Structure 1
Amino acid sequence: MIDWDSIDTVLLDMDGTLLDLHFDNYFWLDHLPRLYAAKYGIPEADATASLHGRFGGQQGTLDWYSLDYWSAQLDMDIPALKREIQHMVALRPFALEFLQQLHAGPCEVVLVTNAHRKTLDIKMSQIDITAWFDRLVVSHDLEAPKEDQAFWHALQKLHPFNPDRTLLIDDTESVLESARQYGIAHLLTLLQPDSQHQKRIDTRFPGIHHFDEIMPGTLPRIGAANSPT
């Protein structure tokens, strides 16, 4: 599926791509509504409906991904609540092996995430994979989400790459569509971002179940160690 000889740069999403999206879905769709209902003394069904409506109104924006925004909006310490269940953060199958193979090879490997910086810190305190990347890019630092063309232009200035020789792997189709519009040639999605949900069958982009389907070879990276220091 992937001609690795045609790839110089690999851009990797975090949630739903390298990490199981179950943590995020459970937190926002189940755990937080229960806590919100208890805090405000309302039925859980009402809390769920209210929160889902508010979340939907911000989808695809930086605020949607911002823990500070939702902490202020809901008057709840969202980072602290996430840390309470951070033991649920988990890598997707073969994700670590895939990162290790990429790191050993000639490609540049860049994490590009819409996750808030505090979210990244919480997850990396549980499963630290940062050493396998050449760079970590948080969309909040670039002042635009990956769904916005401004993100890709800002990324190009921060970390120049050739779109024709770049692979983006992401579980969000609106992000992949934005990358396609920018000109990124190689696009791939995940068919089961959340291990507790059924595989998706209606994706508009080529998809894989697990990373063992596209494992690169182990060409040595010139001037770099084959493992993090």
Structure 2
Amino acid sequence: MVDWSTLDTVFLDMDGTLLDLHFDSHFWLEHLPWRYAEQYDLHPQQAKDQLLAMIMAERGSLNWYCTDYWSERLSVDINQLKAEVSDRIGYRPHVPDFLASLRKAGLHSVIVTNCHPDPLALKLSRTGLDRHVDAIVSSHELGKPKEDRAFWSDLARRIPYRQERTLMVDDSFPVLESARDAGIGQCLAILAPDSTQAPATGHPEIPGIRHFDEVLPTLQARPPLPSQ
């Protein structure tokens, strides 16, 4: 499923890959509509319908992920509302072991996320995730989402990497397709990003796993890179 012997860099999505997507799903589908309905004196379902229509219209763009954009568009403090349910932020299964194994194998681990820097800071403060990887890059720093093929060449100027010796792990098939089309050597899909939802159907061309324990044995069997 993953040929670890050919890799020296592993790019990792955060939400739905390392962290349980339940936090984000609950926020956008439940908590925000509830608080929005309170603020504007709407029926909860009416608020939800209005919000989903606006959100879906931005799908795949940087605005989709931008808390500044949504705070201004909706006249609410998105970061404050996220903090209200931050107790739901947590790791997906086997993630600490997986990250420790990447480090032990001498692989360069980089979180590559579409998460805006403000909620990113909240999630790092709750999890300490930044202590377990070598670097973190938000797509907002580069001005384009991971779905944009040009993102990957811009990323190379920030984090030099060899495409053919890089693995990208993500729960988004559009992102993985973008990475693959940009020349990333291997891609791996996470099929169970939200602990409260059934796993997604696999991709015909991209291998997928539910949890990292499916690839841990082969990763842990990989000898460390000589340079490490």
Q: How does 1:54-93 map to 2 (within 5 A)?
A: 54-93=54-93
Question: How far apart in 1 are the matches of 2:33 and 2:200?
Answer: 26
Residue equivalent to 1:5:
5
SS at 1:58's partner residue? coil
Residue equivalent to 1:127:
127
Q: Under a length normalisation based on structure 1, what TM-score does the superposition of the two structures give?
A: 0.94
Question: How far apart in 2 are the matches of 1:135 and 1:191?
Answer: 24
In structure 2, give the amino acid aligned to 1:88: R
Question: How far apart in 1 are the matches of 2:40 and 2:223?
Answer: 57
Q: How does 1:145-160 map to 2 (within 5 A)?
A: 145-160=145-160
Question: How far apart in 2 are the matches of 1:76 and 1:165?
Answer: 43
SS at 1:195's partner residue? coil
- CA offsets 1:129-162 (integer angstroms, 9 cap, x no match): 1122111111000111000022101111111111
Question: How far apart in 2 are the matches of 1:207 and 1:50?
Answer: 34
Residue equivalent to 1:170:
170
Q: How does 1:73-222 map to 2 (within 5 A)?
A: 73-204=73-204, 205-215=206-216, 216-217=219-220, 219-220=223-224
| Unmatched 5+ stretches in structure 1 | 225-229
Residue equivalent to 2:53:
53
Is the contact between residue 110 and residue 135 of structure 2 (CA under 8 Å) also seen in structure 1? Answer: yes
Is the contact between residue 66 and residue 115 of structure 2 (CA under 8 Å) also seen in structure 1? Answer: yes
Q: Alpha-carbon deviation of 1:183?
A: 0.8
SS at 1:82's partner residue? helix
SS at 1:11's partner residue? strand
Question: How far apart in 1 are the matches of 2:68 and 2:3?
Answer: 41
Question: How far apart in 2 are the matches of 1:147 and 1:34?
Answer: 30
Q: Alpha-carbon deviation of 1:103?
A: 1.2
Q: Percent identity?
A: 43
Q: Alpha-carbon deviation of 1:36?
A: 0.6
SS at 1:60's partner residue? coil
In structure 1, give the amino acid aligned to 2:84: E
Question: How far apart in 1 are the matches of 2:35 and 2:147?
Answer: 30
Q: Alpha-carbon deviation of 1:220?
A: 4.4
SS at 2:57's partner residue? helix
Instruction: Sort the Cα spacing of 1:66 and 1:223 in 2 relative to 1 into closer, same or farther, 3 A.
Output: same
